[in-house]
Structure 1
Amino acid sequence: MTDDYAAMSSGAIMVILVLGFVEMHALAKSTQKIVHEAVKAGVDTDGDTLETRMADARYRSLQRAGSTWSLLCLLMTAALILTFLWAAIDGHGPARLLAGYTLIVTITSLCFVLATAFAKVRGEFLPAAFGVAFPRNGSISAPTAEGSTE
C-alpha cells in the first residue's frame, strides 16, 4: 500500500458510506410510507391478503438490505481504522494484505450501493410475483379480476 492509495481508498470509502446511508434512508422512508398507506387504507395486516404479503415482502427486503449494509459498514470502518493506523506508523511497510482487504471491501460496498440504487430505479426491490403495481407516487394498487391494476 502506498500513501496515495491509502488516501484514495479512504476517500472512496467515505463517499460510499455517505451514498449508502442516503440510499438506505430513502429506502426505509419509502417502505415506511407504503406500509403506513396500507394500514391507513384499512388493509388487514394479520390476514393472508395480497397487500399483507406485499408489505411483508417489502419489509423483508429492507431488512436483508439493512443487515447487509450494516455488515459492509463494519468492514469499511475496519478498513478505515486499519488504514489510518498504517499511515500513522513512521516508516510503514507495504502492507499488501491491508491494500487487498481495502480493495475488496471498497469494490464490494460500491457494488452493493449501485445494485440497490439500480434495483430501486427499476422497481425490482419488491418481488413482482405479487402482481402489485407501484406508481411513481408510491401508492398501492392491487390487480383487478381482469389482470390490470386500479
Structure 2
Amino acid sequence: MERRSGPAVILFGEISDYILFLLMGAVALLTGGLPAGFIFLNKYGLRMSDDFAAIASTVIVTIMLLGAVETHLSMRAARDEFTAEKGRIEGTNVDRVAVESATGRAGAALIWVAILAIQGVNLSLIVLWSAIDGHGPARWLARWSWVSISWALGWWLLRAVNKLWDEFRHVARLQKDLISHETSESPDSP
C-alpha cells in the first residue's frame, strides 16, 4: 500500500483537552460573567426602550427555535442510544460510555427545556411592557432580558463547541487508526 505524506496525527490528548477547557472557560466567562457583572455594577444604566424590546424579542424567538430543535435532536439521540444499549444488555455487559453519553444528551435537553421556559417568560414580560401605555424604563426588565439572553446564548455556544470538539476527537481517532493501519501493512514494518 502506498504511504501518504501529510500532517501528523491531529493534536489529541491532554493538550487538546486543555485548549478545550480554556475555550469553554472563555465562552462561559464572556456570556455568563460579563452579564452578571452588569447586574452588580449597574453603572451603565441599562433600561428598556422600544428598540431594545424589538431586538431582544427577535433574539429570544431565535433562541427558542434553536432550543426546540436542540431539545428534539438531543432527546432523539438519547432515546436511540438507550434503545440500542437496552437491546445489547440481554446477557452482556453494559457499555457505560454509551449510557453516560445518552444520559448527558438527556441532561442537555432538560437544560434546553429550562432555557425555553425562561425565555418564554422573558418574551411575555417584554410584550407586556410594550403593551403598557407610557411604559417607563423598566431597568429590572432590561437587566433580566440581557442576562437571560446572554446565558442562553452562552449555553448554545458551549454546546456547539462541545459538539465540534467531539467530532474533532472522532476524526483524530480515525486518522490515528488509519496511520497505524497503513504502517502495519507497510513492507518496511517489522
Fold agreement, TM-score > 0.5: yes
Q: Is the 8 A contact 1:31 1:59 kept in 2?
A: yes
Cα deviation, 1:35-86, whole Å, max 9, x if unaligned, reads 444445xx2268653x2x1232022212321221122111111110110000
RMSD across aligned positions (CA): 2.6
Partner Cα distance (2:127, 2:165) in 1: 38
Relative contact order, CA 8 A, sep 6+: which one is greater? 2
Contact 2:64 2:116 in 1 (8 A): yes
Question: Does the 8 Å CA contact 1:86/1:92 hold for their aligned counterparts?
Answer: yes
From 114, 117, 137, give the equivalent of 1:74: 117
Of residues 56, 73, 88, the one that matches 1:26 is 73
Aligned partners of 2:60 and 2:149 also within 8 Å: yes
Q: Is residue 2:142 matched to residue 1:99?
A: yes
Larger Rg: 2
What is the match of residue 9 of structure 1?
A: 56
1:109: which partner in 2? Answer: 152
**Length-normalised TM-score, structure 2:** 0.57
Distance in 2 (CA, whole Å) between partners of 1:89 and 1:9 is 17
Amino acid in structure 1 at the alignment position of 2:53: A
Contact 2:60 2:119 in 1 (8 A): yes
Unaligned stretches of 5+ residues in structure 1: 135-150
User: 1:123 Cα deviation (Å)?
Assistant: 1.4
CA distance in 2, matches of 1:33, 1:15: 27
User: In 2 relative to 1, CA 8–21 (structure 1 residues): closer, same or farther, beyond 3 Å?
Assistant: same
CA distance in 1, matches of 2:146, 2:133: 23
Q: TM-score by structure 1 length?
A: 0.71
The answer for the alignment partner of 1:119 in structure 2 is 162
- For structure 2, the 5+ residue unaligned runs are 1-47, 172-190
Residue deviations 1:125-146 (CA, integer Å, cap 9, x gap): xxx9xxxx79xxxxxxxxxxxx
Contact 1:23–1:113 (Cα < 8 Å) also in 2: no
Q: Out of 89, 96, 104, which is 1:44 matched to? A: 89
Aligned residues: 124
Contact 2:74 2:105 in 1 (8 A): yes
Moved over 6 A (4+): none
